[in-house]
Structure 1
Amino acid sequence: MADYQNTPVEDPSASTQMFRAFVDDPQPQPATAVSGGSRTGMITLGVIVALVVVIGVVYLAIK
Structure 2
Amino acid sequence: MSDQPHIDPAGNTQAFRAFANAREQESAAAKPKKSPLLPILAVVLAVVIIGVAAFLLLQ
Which bracket does the TM-score occupy, shorter chain normalised? 0.3 to 0.5
Structure number with the higher helix fraction is: 2
Q: If the length of structure 2 is used for normalisation, what is the TM-score?
A: 0.43
Higher-Rg member (1/2): 2
